[in-house]
Each structure stands twice: as structure tokens, then as C-alpha cells.
Amino acid sequence: MIIRYKFENKLDREFAAALRTRVNTYFQDNQIQRNANSKMIIKTIAVLSMYLVPYFLLILAGFTNLWLLMGLWMIMGIGKAFIGTTIMHDSIHGSYFKNPAMNNLMTFSATIVGVDKLIWHIQHNVLHHTYTNLEHADEDILPRFVFRYNTNQPHKWFHRFQHIYAPIFYCVPLLEWITTKDFIKVFDYKRDGLIKKKDFPMELTKVILRKAFYWVVFLVLPVMLIPVPAWITILMIFASHCITGIMLAMIFQTAHVVEPAEFFDEEDERVKHSWVAHQLKTTCNYGMDDKVLSWFLGGLNFQIEHHLFPEICHVHYPAISKLVQQTVKEFELPYFAFPSFGAAVASHFKHMKEMGSAKDLKVQVA
């Protein structure tokens, strides 16, 4: 069951008000919208092309060279990851277009990468963004038996190796998501009251239809139309999804499952600080000066700004990050950032190694 934690939002009101005012002033003074701009439109075309052009070549061009086929599947895997970090992520947060109908159209990007937009909205927008790194609420850190993310979670003997085997298992979540996860979660969220009972039949039907579309277009058709044995195509599809899974894991894990980020498990279901302070305590940026990284990651390397302002399109995060840094410094609140993506990845694996150690455990389970 999901715990609905309560934050002490009477705290840090001056900080929140000052930051909101400065960000609002930035958009007003520069006479720009908070949503997508021309740069975002160009990026959308580019990442969709990275995914869809190889797909149509695969099913229509009649290629039989295995190296060429594998290369196209790998490009698709990379393109799928970048659709997730850019188009899908912004649109499901409602920050792509101001017009709800147009924004909803862009959420179809989730369907073409095999993720159901309703399930992602609940898991990511509702739970992860509200209860970041809170045990029993943030599903991104739920114990998956093979991992121990923080000292609030049980320790198993094999966790001492988790920093070694983690990349292998990071392939699994996406494969699980395109097959079983959406169906399991739609029932879980109904049980937890995150999907209303009266809406459940319709929502379940939509999940089934969206998933069926993905399976037919991106699994069945390639197996039928690519002129190589079916088992080869299936293996290549598997490899493509592994590439996407590892990429997404590294992008998202390096924002919250790293050394500076804090984790919480409050017994009385009350968090002893404000929601804005919680986001700063549990979130890390990385590679903020790397424009190429920022372009491909959809601004997710500005994770602090994203968590504080998820309704703002990511193309604006580099600019407003300066306002956030200025304000947290004035109010003496934390702001965690790594100089590069590589430093964040190294910190993630160092953190995983430390959590796998049997030293200084809060919880011990044989």
C-alpha cells in the first residue's frame, strides 16, 4: 500500500514565494511562454526520426544483412530513450503545449515506446514527484529484492555485488513495462485509490488498446516483415530494449540514487520539512554546462529545476537554474550538482556499493 506522507509546508514559505516570483518575472520580462518553443519542435522532429526512420527501414526496405539490421535496432533503442526523456516526459507533465488537446496529442509518444501514459503519470507525476525518495511511497525506490537503494531497506547477502550486476538488471524494467507492468499497476492503483472505481473499466480498456497497438506495430509487424528468421528479429528487439533500459536507468538513477541525495522513512507518516526542501534534499543535477547532454536528456540533468517546476518545459531549465541557485543560497538550502554525467554515474555506483555493504545497517534481514 502507498503511504500518503504529509509535509510541513508552513516551513520555507518565504523561499517558495521568492523563487516562484523570480521565475514568473523571468518569463514575463523576457516575454516568453513556459511551454515548448521552436527549439523543442526541432528536437521533437529529430528524436522521433531517430526512432521511426530506422523502424520503417526495417519493415519496408527488405534488408537482410544482420549487422545493418542490428545497427538500425540499436538506433531505435537510443531514439526510444530520447523520446522518453524529451517528448513523452514533458507532454505527460503537461508542459509541452499550453493547449490541453495538443499536449494530450503529444502523450501518444508514450504509446509508441511501449509505456502506458496513465500508469506513467501516476507512478512518475503523482508518486515520484510528490514523495521523492520516501520509502513506501516513491515507487522508483521500491525494493526489487535484487537491489538495496538505502539504509531503510532490508539487506541481503548478495547486495554486496549489486554495483556489479546492476547494469544487467537495468535492462529488465523496460522489458517488464512493455509486457506485464502496465496491467499489474492498473489493478494496484485501483486498489490504492489512485484510479477511481467508476473510471476503472474505461481506463483498463484504454491500457489494453494502447498496449495492443504497440505490440502489433513494434513487435508483430517487424517479426512478420523483416526477411530474417523470427528468432533473430526477437533477439534484436530484446537488445534494442536493453539499450533503452540501461540509458534510462542511468539518466534517472543519477538524479536521486547517488551519494548526496537523502532517503526518508517516516514512521508517523509526517515529513519534518517542507515539500520544496524535500525536493532539494533528495535530488541532484549533473552536467549543467554540457549543452549536448542537456539537449538529449530533455533537461533531466536539471532535475532540481524539473522537480520544483514540472509544469515548465525543459528547454527553459538552464535559464531558471540560475534563479534557483541564487535563491537556495540566500535561504541556506541545499543544492546538489555533479560537474558531469560521468561523475554522477560514478557516484551512483559508489552509492550502490555502499548500500550493498553489511556495515552500518539500519535494517538487517538474514
Q: Are 85 and 297 in contact (CB under 8 A)?
A: yes
Nine-digit cell at 206? 484504454
pLDDT value at residue 359: 63
| 173-to-179, 226, 248, 254 alpha-carbon distances in Å | 10, 26, 10, 16
pLDDT value at residue 172: 82
Nine-digit cell at 126? 503523482
Q: What is the tens place of the pLDDT at every residue in 341-351?
A: 999 999 999 99
pLDDT value at residue 366: 32
Does this model's pTM top 0.85? My answer is yes
Q: 191 CB contacts (<8 Å, ≥6 apart)? A: none
pLDDT value at residue 145: 85
Q: Which residues of the chain have pLDDT under 70?
A: 359-366
pLDDT value at residue 68: 98
Q: Is 145 left (phi over 0), alpha (psi -120 to 50) or beta?
A: left
Q: Are 310 and 276 in contact (CB under 8 A)?
A: no
pLDDT value at residue 364: 39
pLDDT value at residue 365: 38
